[in-house]
Every structure is written in C-alpha cells, then in structure tokens.
Amino acid sequence: MRKGNFVSWFGKDKEAERFYLLPGMGGKALQQKRKFMLWWGIGVGLLVSFLLAGLMYWMCRG
C-alpha cells in the first residue's frame, strides 16, 4: 500500500496541499491532466478494439 493512500484514510492528505513549482504538477492542473489522459486512453482503447474486431470479422468472412 502506498503511503499516500494510507494517510488519506487517517488524516489530512499532505500531498494535496503540497506546493508545486511547475504547472501541471498538482492541484487543478493535475486533475485536468489526468482527466485528459483518461479520455484519450478510453478513446484509443475503443479505436483499437474496433479495428481488431473489424480485422477479425474480415478474416473470418473471407
């Protein structure tokens, strides 16, 4: 178990309050970055699954 998960169960999460020097490393920017990556990952996963399904359909039909 990671320390960050353990702390959030029993007290304040110091990681969320940490000051970051560069943009995109914490706070709202980090949440937006994670959300962006999640949706891109879902989209790419769906695209690859449709391509593989089409390829398998084409191979079985032919």
Distance CA 13, CA 9 (A): 9
Beta strands, E only, the chain = none
The mean per-residue pLDDT over the stretch 55-59 comes to 96
From residue 38, give the alpha-carbon distance in Å to each of 45, 46, 56, 59: 10, 12, 27, 31
Give the tens place of pLDDT for each residue, 19-56.
Answer: 666 666 677 888 888 999 999 999 999 999 999 999 99
Side chain identity at 32, as an amino acid letter? Q
Query: pTM for the full model?
Result: 0.57
